Every structure is written in C-alpha cells, then in structure tokens.
Structure 1
Amino acid sequence: MQYRLFCSILCAGLILEAAPVLSHEFWIEPEKYQVNSGETVVAKLRNGQEFYGAEQPYLDHRIARFEVLQGGTTLPYIGRMGDMPAFSGDPMPDGLAVLIHQTRPQTITYDSWEEFQAFVDHKAFGDIQTQHRTRGLADSGFVEQYTRYAKALVAIGDGTGLDQAAGLETEIVALANPYTDDMTGGLPIRVLYQGNPRPNAQVEVFAKAPDGSVTITTRLTDSQGKAIVPLAPGHIYLLDAVVLRPAPDGADYVWESLWAALTFAVPAR
C-alpha cells in the first residue's frame, strides 16, 4: 500500500507539473458510462491530450471538491490516498448521476512567450500578447495559475434526469440527457462562468469512436452561452472550455486559467 501510494504521488507529480503545456485536458473517465441498477460506479481521473491521458490517483491535497450530484442532492466523495481508480462509490439510485471534481490551483512558469502563445492560439483567446505587454509583464519567466473543473454524466439503471449547474467557477452544463433523449439534432449545452452564461466561448469537442480513434472539432457559444454539439451513436465525448483572465492584484502569478470539462457517452442505437 505504501509503495503504491509513493508511486502514485510520484507519477502524478511528474505529470501534473508539466500541465497544462504538455498535457492540456483533465477529465473524469467512468469505466462504464451506463451501469445497471445497484452496480458500483468506478471512474478514473485523466490528464492528457486529444482524449488520451495518464491516469491520476486520488490525492486529497490536490482536491478542492469531489462530489456526486443526483436528483438535486449533492453528496461529497472521500476516497483513499493513492487510490487508482480515484472514484469508486457506493451503489446509487437509478437516474442520471453527475460526478464533479475540482482541483486545487496549481502553477506553471513559462520560460518563453512562444510556449504561452501556443496555448493562447489553441484556445482562441485572441490578442493576449497586447494585454500582457500593456500590463508591463516580461515575455519569459512569468507564472500562470490553473484550476480544473471536471464533470461526467453517468446513467444508472434507466438513466433519467438532467444535468444542472453545480456552482463551479466555470462549467459546461448539458441541457438534454444523452442517454435518454433524441440526439439526432445534437446535444444542447451551456457554458457558465461565475454562474452566468459565457458568450463567444470556444468549446473543444473530442469524439472517441468505438475503434478508439478521436475526432476533434470546435463549437462557439452564442450570446446566451449555448451551443449545439453534433453527436454520433456509440461514441464517447469530452467537451472542454477554458477561461483565461488576469491575476488579481498582489498575486504571485500573472494569468489564471480555469478549465471546464464534461464527459459522457452516446448509446449505440
């Protein structure tokens, strides 16, 4: 047990220290997105790129929130240090369960502007360099703080129910149920920031086919923070939306990123 915990912490440290430059997304990956009534829900935490990533252990000093939201009730989840998979809850009632994981803030130092610009371009933040230089900041050796806000939708039994806002600083809310509703017209979602709709936000869509191949597309939210995500039966999805904002006065970092993620599956029809 002690050896497993040591290896888990060491591996997590090596992986997470490199994020978000080398390993962008962070998500919850249930072993099964649809489980039978009375079956235990098991889920991994993953950190990586293009919907492939290294498994992360349960480390309580890195966790700000770990909860299950179901039927309007939120229950905290407490695991054991070093657990992999990080989540293995007691059997839950039938319906749609929303797993929620918020990390504690971490920081990364950029050795060059090019590293940061690659991140800015990838997430379509616009002309951040002008803002950066207007603030009198150096082009190297500056620090960004980042926090992850991940959710996963799991259908238990009949899987009925709806996702809802969980009060995260930023989050993606599914406005329909991908397990029970007709998805031929796509899944409507809303991106929230500080509880309000976030307009003109880029949503990166990772679609993993049954053969393991991943297709990556982007959508842009409208004035109400909504977007429609086209879905295919039998695929697993990761949606990602990132906020980048200046650090508050007096902080020991200069930029702050907030990463919202939502994972779910679409049943094969």
Structure 2
Amino acid sequence: MKHHLTITLACLVTLLWPARASLAHEFWIEPTQFQVENGATLTASLRNGQDFEGINLAYFDRRIVRFDWHMNGVTTPVVARAGDTPALSMTAPAPGLMILTYQSTPSKVSYSEWEKFARFAEHKRFADITSRHAERDLPDADFTEVYTRYAKSLIGIAGARGDDHATGLEIEIVALQNPYTRSETDPLPVQVLYQNVPRADAQVEIFARAPDGTVTVSTAQTDDQGIAQVPVQPGHAYLLDNVVLRAPAPDVAAEHDAVWETLWASLTFAIPN
C-alpha cells in the first residue's frame, strides 16, 4: 500500500506540473551542495517556483528531452527512475567542474485575459509586446503560449577545475569564469546564447540567496556580445534567468494551438566563502 501511495502521489505531481509551472515562472536545477568531495554522493533537484523558492519535481522521462552531465569533454545521460526525488543522485565521478543540463518537453499555458500575459512580458523586458501582438492580429483573450525549459547547473567536485561552455541547448547561459576557482571580487561575466549566437541587449534576472536564506532580485543587461556582469558575494547561491519570446514555428503553433512561444534558460551556481 505504501509503495502504491508513493507512485500515486508522484504521478499527481507530474500531472500538475504544467499547471504549477504556469503560475510560478522559474525552473532550475538545485544541487543539495554546490561543492562536494570526489567520491561523495551528489544529489540535485528539479525545482519550479518563484524568487529562488519552489517545489521539487520528480523525475519523469516523458517530460524530459535531455538530462545530462558534462565533464572533461564527455557528455553522459543522467540515470534515474520514474518518480525519483531528487531527480539526480550519483557518486561524484572525478575532480573537476560538472555541468548539468536539462531540456523539458514543451508545455502550454492559456491566458483568459491580456493583462496577465502583458505583465509577464513586460517583467521579462519585452516592452513592445502590445505592438507585436497587434501586428499579428492576435486576440486579446483566450490565447495560448507554449514554453520549454532549458536549465544548467555548475557543481564543483574536489578542486573544481574546468570551465563552463556551450552545451548545445537552444538557449543557455554560460559562465565565463569558474565560480569555484576564480580569485576575482569583480562581477562574474556570463554570456547568453540563443541558437549558439550571443544574445545582445537581453535581460538577465538575478536571484541571489544569502547564507541566512534571504533572496534578493536584480537584473543585468547583456552587451553586444551577449555578456552580462553579475555581482556576486561569497557564501551566496545564484539563479540566473533569461527568456526568449517569439512567434512559434507553424508546426509548433499547430501542434499546441499556440500563438506565442517562450524559451526559458536558467543557470545555478554558488560562490564559495
């Protein structure tokens, strides 16, 4: 009975996933520890919520396009079972910088009123959304958006040597310095890539969690090379977020009955004390 109840609850969570995701914008990978020793148990959760707080989501492969870890030039799929929470649990394989990557399957959310969609778009710095919507002669109510999540996380193992790099996600944020080995006190530079091209003049939302759990939110803009400067402090964990809002391709629009498509990139890491 206990086993049956566990599976039932896990299935309920996954059924509610799109509905919860539509209410809570950010999606990210959160390791239990951002730095571990070689050979230690390494765990990480898939999380959905707001302001760097949210619910843990169980692993279900039907909602995942890819979930991998990258080290020393090798990409390895995460091994997990349906319902696993946390979604990743493994032995740290070797010293170095581990890059976790995740891509969801598309989900959709419907808007019964224009104002809710407009607030979201303006918050993500799409100030021209009203004119773009009108130019396409789209309805002001009862329309659908399809969205896909692209998440990354950096985990330091032992000495944590290595560099973040592009991993082939359609949209991703790349840390241009290793947060676990850098000696600088200046902001951490990150680069936003969209279809492997630097994304200029884009907003990066920054969620910084202090050791006492307090979360502060700020934003930075990318330059013409897609690079943004992220202020960082020792002992803090960080969630970075960037969103592309576009008209969906005809096949995507038809499959999901959607008039807008969003691609969500996130990156998590921590700065050592």
Q: TM-score, normalization: structure 1?
A: 0.97
Secondary structure in 1 aligned to 2:18? helix
Distance 1:138 1:222 in 2: 34
Distance 1:145 1:63 in 2: 15
Q: Structure 1 residue 119: deviation in Å?
A: 0.6
Percent identity of the aligned residues? 51
1:48 aligns with 49
Distance 2:129 2:151 in 1: 25
2:10 aligns with 8
Matched residues, number: 267
Aligned pairs for 1:21-170 within 5 A = 22-170=23-171
Query: Which portions of structure 1, spanning 4 or more consecutive aligned residues, are displaced by more than 2 angstroms?
Result: 11-16
Distance 1:5 1:79 in 2: 15
Q: What is the root-mean-square deviation of aligned Cα atoms in Å?
A: 1.1
Distance 2:182 2:241 in 1: 22
Q: Structure 1 residue 126: deviation in Å?
A: 1.6
Q: Structure 1 residue 15: deviation in Å?
A: 4.1
Report whether the alignment pairs 1:258 with 2:259: no
Distance 1:134 1:188 in 2: 36
2:19 aligns with 17
Distance 2:161 2:4 in 1: 41
1:176 aligns with 177
Please state which structure has a larger fraction of its residues in helix. Answer: 2
Verify the 8 A CA contact 2:64 2:104 in the aligned structure 1: yes
Secondary structure in 1 aligned to 2:41? coil
Verify the 8 A CA contact 1:28 1:151 in the aligned structure 2: yes
1:244 aligns with 245
Verify the 8 A CA contact 2:10 2:83 in the aligned structure 1: yes
Q: Structure 1 residue 197: deviation in Å?
A: 0.2
Verify the 8 A CA contact 1:40 1:92 in the aligned structure 2: no
Aligned pairs for 1:171-210 within 5 A = 171-210=172-211
Q: Structure 1 residue 91: deviation in Å?
A: 2.8
Distance 1:86 1:260 in 2: 19
Verify the 8 A CA contact 1:183 1:231 in the aligned structure 2: no
Q: What whole-Å deviation, never above 9, does each CA across 1:7-55 have from its counterpart, x for those lacking one?
A: 12212332431323x2010000000100011112100110000000011
